[in-house]
Amino acid sequence: MAKIITRVWTSRGPTGKKIRHVSYGYDVRIDGRRERTVSTEWTTETQAHEALTNRLKDAEHGKVSKPADATLGALVETYLQYKAEKHNRSLREDRRILNTRLLPAFGAELPARRLTEQLIAQYERRRTGQVSVFTVANELTVLRHMLRLGRRWGYLSQVPEIDMPKKPEGRRRYLDETEIGHLLTACGESRNPYLTAITTLALHTGMRKAEILGLEWARVDLSTSRLTLYKTKSGKPRGIPINRAVYDALVALEPDQARREGLVFTRRGGAAWGQIRSAFTKALERAGIKGFRFHDLRHTAASHLVMRGASLKDVQELLGHSMTQRYAHLSPAHLRGAVDRLDGLARGHMNRHKC
């Protein structure tokens, strides 16, 4: 089964105005192998149809494998189209990494089959001297995923082996209660009308910034004091009970129940509020807090939950977090309780020796 596919994206022109681009390609199975090709040179469906027809004719004459000169640039086009069709949340970041880092480094015209382990290793060494290990690992993860799909699509016969740099342990920065008080006071002095409420939600629910800014009133049930998130990083819905601080913050945002519709945090006209980076950074400066970022509010919530007796399982369910073990050191009691369950395990052996 063959079909024509469309890729639509935008870029900014010299004046800063957004320009809409459209390119076409095809998706087809040849000899049981899927091929996806998108080209910026195909600006009409007719061109894509012609390319597909020619590809099918080649296959009829025994040219089953994808041309050996398929370029890395063509693979990137196909990969981004694939991610766009899947509505993948990482599409924007993947496009940035591919177009500003990987393609300039290796060359868009490099045949995909000639991207060797040696070239990738050279890239990894060079980037390690420029940016953090996290950044290098993220870039190589995108490359590895694209190459694995590229092999499936026929762009290359085998995937080069990529040695992934070992990431250091995740950040454990969190605020103590005094710092939390100073931060909320500083947020209250901000010109951003939502900063205090957004920070309060982050501190008391552990929600990610994108989850908070994308929160809709339809997902807020104040009668049962519960939020329901459907657009999450894991893709799995998550229910979040809310405490009094969050309840009061939400009611203060819109006291009239009849007007609670659309996004919780909006500009005039209902558009999404946007980012709060500058306002939050200034609040941190006023509060005298250094080495902290908004995402660390999520770590703060998790850390205080554990220190106040919540189990690691509770934290995992509440935050939708797969790395709760990083907070285990804050609650040695849960290990003590587990070990206590083994009391008496060797009681029979000890009694025999006493006799």
- Measured CA distances, 47 to 5, 8, 101, 153, 162 (Å): 12, 16, 30, 21, 36
Q: Classify residue 345 by burial, with Cβ atoms within 10 Å: 0-12, 13-18, 19+.
A: exposed
Contact 193, 178 (CB under 8 A): no
Report yes or no on whether pTM surpasses 0.85. Answer: no
Retrieve residue 99's tokens: 């177009």
Report the distance separating Cα 257 and Cα 222, nearest Å: 10
CA atoms within 13 A on the CB side of 351: 5
Q: Which residues are catalytic?
A: 208, 233, 295, 298, 321, 327
Backbone angles phi, psi at 284, to 5 degrees: -60, -40
CA separation for the pair 80, 74 (Å, rounded): 10
> Is residue 40 within 8 Å of residue 81, measured between CB atoms?
no
pLDDT in single tens digits along all 355 residues of the chain: 688 888 787 766 666 677 788 888 888 887 666 777 777 778 888 888 888 888 888 777 666 555 556 889 989 988 998 888 877 778 889 999 999 999 999 999 999 989 999 999 999 999 988 888 888 999 999 999 999 998 888 788 788 999 888 766 555 678 999 999 999 999 999 999 999 999 999 999 888 898 899 999 999 999 988 888 877 766 678 888 889 999 999 999 999 998 898 999 998 877 888 889 999 999 999 999 998 999 899 888 888 888 887 777 877 777 776 555 555 555 555 545 544 555 554 555 445 555 5
> Which are the contacts of 72, defined by CB distance < 8 A and separation ≥ 6?
103, 106, 107, 108, 109, 110, 111, 112, 115
Nearest to 165 by CA among 118, 122, 125: 125
- CA 333 vs CA 173, 299, 309, 340: distances in Å: 21, 20, 9, 10
- What domains, with CATH codes, occur in the chain? 3-153 (no CATH), 177-331 (1.10.443.10)
